[in-house]
Chain A
Amino acid sequence: MGKYILKRFLLMIPTLLGVAVLVFVLLRVVPGDVVELRFMSGEGQFADPQMLAMERAKVGLDKPMWKQFLDWMWGIVRLDLGVSMWTGAPITEEIKLRFALSLQLAIMATVVATLLAIPLGILAALKQDTWVDYTVRVFSIAGLAMPSFWLGILMILGFLVIFKWLPPMVYTPLWVNPWQNLAQLIWPALAVGYRYSAVATRMTRSAMLEVLREDYIRTARAKGLWTKLILTRHALKNAMLPVLTVIALEFAFLLGGLVVTEQVFNLNGLGMLFVQAISHRDYTLTQSLVLLVAFVFIFVNFLMDLLYGRLDPRIRYR
């Protein structure tokens, strides 16, 4: 078991390295660099080439590519993300507040999704092929079908017209003012959670159906819904693994993937930071962000693998 964990853990390294190489190369293939953007767009008609060269040297763009890459990697090894090319501030400082927001939103949305998905999925399975099942499925698929930005626009508009509610100006961290913080994030969390509940609902339904097909439960068919639910409780524990996986992976995705939602609800999270960093050609910040998000994703995957092993003894470690 220990050996398996170690092997799985070590396999994360080539993947992360691959992500690092990919983002590093992609950024440098894309036209434009941070210096050009800063001093040669806008009204920078007078920019002097000597100065541009100096500015490039200052952010390390004059070094050969392999050197830039090794410097970055060496920093990562020492847990030093370096400084942003655009602001010159340490990347950890740039990310701090945005990460807190994105993490909280991801957690809240995941809670919403789970609270919707599990009861609805179980209900749909118990009432398979009845109007209850159909309603649940239509409801959850509708969430998947509505573009989140559109839903966001409609929600904000609805709140504005009906309650005179306006989206907040700045993010209030939970530790500063919990009430205000929750009031800020509850709407986007609902919008996002509803949307991401769809796949989990489907998985729950499937898992439950599978359990219901087991013989001892079939025999209990006559005994009513409640009994059935109690009977399935233990069997469900294992069957729910894929549901857990889906929820965990969605959580990892939500952390950095809510660009449009953040935009619509004016949340200054990682998604917006991504877009900003790319549009500033802030290589160092973009690289770190991509690596961070990829790491969370891969790490969650790794945890799920371990969990599979613990919960389901049928899975043998290879």
Chain B
Amino acid sequence: MAINVPAETIAEVSLAPARRAWIAAAIKFTRQRPIGALGAAIILVMAAVASLAGVLAPYDPLATDYGGMLAPPSATHWLGTDAFGRDVLSRIVYGSRTALLVGFGASVLGATLGVFVGVASAYFGGRVDLLVQRVMDIFLSFPLIVLALAVVVILGTGVLNVTLAIMVPMIPRCALVVRSSALAIREMPYVEAARAAGFGHARIIFRHMLPNVMAPYLIMLTAFLGQAILLEASLSFLGLGVQEPTAAWGLMLRGAAVEFAEAAPWMALFPGLAISLGVFGFSLFGDSLRDALDPKLRTL
């Protein structure tokens, strides 16, 4: 196929098959797992909206208009305005940034730390394992809301602290799953061999164990993504998350959105839809990914 290609297009040539393979993979994925493809599409749209917020949003998300408070959806404000006359659509568009930032931040951090804890626990075994398991048990049985409240009260609100508050409960959940996979890997001959050869613990963990728990890691990561976005919205709804005047979906459902739910339902309806759609996309994608990566279909 590439026999008669002129020299000038060589750069393109080396790219073309890759691109084609990528497209082919996408088509195959769509055909085999239409649900996952739908999820991926939603995620892509969300990412695009977040990165192009400045271009897509018709108004400044912070601009108030006391003459146009609580205006219903119209040609000028497609999704209406809120209690301060701010454009709901623009705030939803900018809110996607907060959602993705906190969602990715919390789940990548949580799942990654969880993997380390889980692998280390399985690798060292014995007393260390027993101790780590007890600590994980403690965090698992600790009511989530108390944990989140405590983190937020001690550290304060704001994007970074909310990310931390969401991340903490994710660690033991991921560690638990990863540990059970890692336990099997620990008994594998190549790990035994590495140990016999006198390699350091760190090296064995990084070289031999971590790469082999990537599947459960990815599964947990995608499962967390949706839940992190949801948790961020819940915490913001409770007033424990991101703060005004920053645009965030959960925040938009708070206060006036509830008080005016009857008189100005657009204030509650659209941000809620945005949250649902976002979480829906990540969950669909995660669900399919699990089907693909987890042959025993056993991961929680």
Q: Which residue of B lies closest to A295 (CB)?
A: B141
The answer to whether A30 and B142 touch across the interface, beta carbons within 8 angstroms, is: no
Interface residues in A114-136 by Cβ distance below 8 A to B read: 134
The answer to whether A260 and B238 touch across the interface, beta carbons within 8 angstroms, is: yes
The answer to whether A259 and B138 touch across the interface, beta carbons within 8 angstroms, is: no
Chain B, interface SS category: helix
Does A79 have its Cβ within 8 Å of any Cβ on chain B? no
Residue from the list B230, B250, B253, B284 in contact with A141, Cβ < 8 A: B284
The answer to whether A145 and B283 touch across the interface, beta carbons within 8 angstroms, is: yes
The answer to whether A19 and B272 touch across the interface, beta carbons within 8 angstroms, is: no
The answer to whether B275 and A150 touch across the interface, beta carbons within 8 angstroms, is: yes
Residue from the list B149, B261, B296 in contact with A278, Cβ < 8 A: B149
The answer to whether A210 and B234 touch across the interface, beta carbons within 8 angstroms, is: no
Interface residues in A11-45 by Cβ distance below 8 A to B read: 11, 14-15, 18-19, 22-23, 26-27, 29-31
Interface centre among B138, B262, B268, B284 (most CB of A within 10 A): B138
> B146 — which chain A residues lie within 8 A by C-beta?
23, 26, 274, 278, 286, 290
Interface centre among B143, B153, B276 (most CB of A within 10 A): B143
Q: Which of A154-162, A216-224, A225-233 contacts B (4 or more CB under 8 A)?
A: A154-162
Interface residues in A136-167 by Cβ distance below 8 A to B read: 137-138, 141-142, 144-147, 149-150, 153-154, 157, 160-161
Q: A141-B287, A246-B300 are in contact. Are A298 and B141 (CB under 8 A)?
A: yes
> A160 — which chain B residues lie within 8 A by C-beta?
262
Q: Complex Cα distance A11/B137, Å?
A: 10
Does A309 have its Cβ within 8 Å of any Cβ on chain B? no
**Number of A-B contacts defined by CB within 8 Å:** 136
Does A82 have its Cβ within 8 Å of any Cβ on chain B? no
Give, as a whole number of angstroms, the nearest-CB distance from A226 to chain B.
Answer: 24
The answer to whether B142 and A142 touch across the interface, beta carbons within 8 angstroms, is: no
The answer to whether A19 and B230 touch across the interface, beta carbons within 8 angstroms, is: no
Does B50 have its Cβ within 8 Å of any Cβ on chain A? no
The answer to whether A144 and B262 touch across the interface, beta carbons within 8 angstroms, is: no
Interface centre among B268, B269, B283 (most CB of A within 10 A): B283
Q: A15-B141, A26-B150, A30-B154 are in contact. Are A145 and B265 (CB under 8 A)?
A: no
Q: Which residue of A lies closest to B253 (CB)?
A: A150
Interface residues in A57-113 by Cβ distance below 8 A to B read: none
Give the number of residues in A that approach B within 8 Å (Cβ atoms).
55
Q: A144-B283, A147-B234, A161-B262 are in contact. Are A154 and B141 (CB under 8 A)?
A: no
The answer to whether A294 and B237 touch across the interface, beta carbons within 8 angstroms, is: no
Q: A22-B142, A286-B146, A290-B142 are in contact. Are A149 and B237 (CB under 8 A)?
A: yes
Residue from the list A137, A146, A203, A259 in contact with B145, Cβ < 8 A: A259
The answer to whether A150 and B272 touch across the interface, beta carbons within 8 angstroms, is: yes
Does B20 have its Cβ within 8 Å of any Cβ on chain A? no
Does B144 have its Cβ within 8 Å of any Cβ on chain A? yes
Give, as a whole number of angstroms, the nearest-CB distance from A214 to chain B.
Answer: 14
Q: Complex Cα distance A138/B33, Å?
A: 13
The answer to whether A257 and B143 touch across the interface, beta carbons within 8 angstroms, is: yes
Q: Complex Cα distance A301/B172, Å?
A: 15
Residue from the list B142, B145, B275, B296 in contact with A147, Cβ < 8 A: B275
The answer to whether A145 and B238 touch across the interface, beta carbons within 8 angstroms, is: no
Q: Complex Cα distance A15/B145, Å?
A: 19
Does B298 have its Cβ within 8 Å of any Cβ on chain A? yes
Q: A15-B134, A147-B233, A259-B145 are in contact. Are A138 and B35 (CB under 8 A)?
A: yes
The answer to whether A206 and B297 touch across the interface, beta carbons within 8 angstroms, is: yes
The answer to whether A260 and B234 touch across the interface, beta carbons within 8 angstroms, is: yes
Q: Complex Cα distance A297/B230, Å?
A: 23
Give, as a whole number of angstroms, the nearest-CB distance from B176 to chain A.
Answer: 11
Give per-residue flags for A280-298: 1 if the beta carbon is below 8 A from chain B beta carbons, else 0: 0000001001100110011
Q: Which residue of A lies closest to B254 (CB)?
A: A149
Does A209 have its Cβ within 8 Å of any Cβ on chain B? yes
The answer to whether B300 and A199 touch across the interface, beta carbons within 8 angstroms, is: yes
Q: Complex Cα distance A240/B182, Å?
A: 24
Q: A137-B287, A210-B296, A259-B145 are in contact. Are A149 and B234 (CB under 8 A)?
A: yes
Q: A138-B35, A150-B253, A257-B144 are in contact. Are A15 and B138 (CB under 8 A)?
A: yes
The answer to whether A145 and B297 touch across the interface, beta carbons within 8 angstroms, is: no
The answer to whether B296 and A149 touch across the interface, beta carbons within 8 angstroms, is: no
Interface centre among A150, A199, A271, A274 (most CB of B within 10 A): A150
Q: Complex Cα distance A205/B297, Å?
A: 9
The answer to whether B138 and A138 touch across the interface, beta carbons within 8 angstroms, is: no
Q: Complex Cα distance A106/B262, Å?
A: 29
Q: Complex Cα distance A207/B300, Å?
A: 12
Does A256 have its Cβ within 8 Å of any Cβ on chain B? yes
Q: Which residue of A lies closest to B39 (CB)?
A: A141
> B70 — which chain A residues lie within 8 A by C-beta?
none
> B230 — which chain A residues lie within 8 A by C-beta?
145, 147
Q: Complex Cα distance A275/B239, Å?
A: 12
Does A173 have its Cβ within 8 Å of any Cβ on chain B? no
Does B114 have its Cβ within 8 Å of any Cβ on chain A? no
Give, as a whole number of angstroms, the nearest-CB distance from A33 to chain B.
Answer: 13
19 examples of A-B residue contacts, CB within 8 angstroms? A23-B146, A30-B154, A141-B280, A145-B226, A145-B230, A145-B275, A147-B230, A147-B275, A147-B276, A153-B268, A207-B297, A256-B145, A257-B143, A259-B145, A260-B234, A278-B146, A278-B153, A290-B146, A294-B141
- By Cβ-Cβ distance, the 4 closest A-B pairs, closest first, are A206-B297, A145-B280, A150-B272, A18-B138
Known: A15-B134, A145-B275. 20 other contacts (CB 8 A): A18-B135, A18-B137, A23-B146, A26-B146, A27-B150, A30-B154, A138-B35, A146-B275, A146-B279, A147-B250, A147-B275, A150-B276, A153-B268, A154-B272, A161-B262, A203-B300, A210-B297, A242-B298, A257-B144, A294-B142
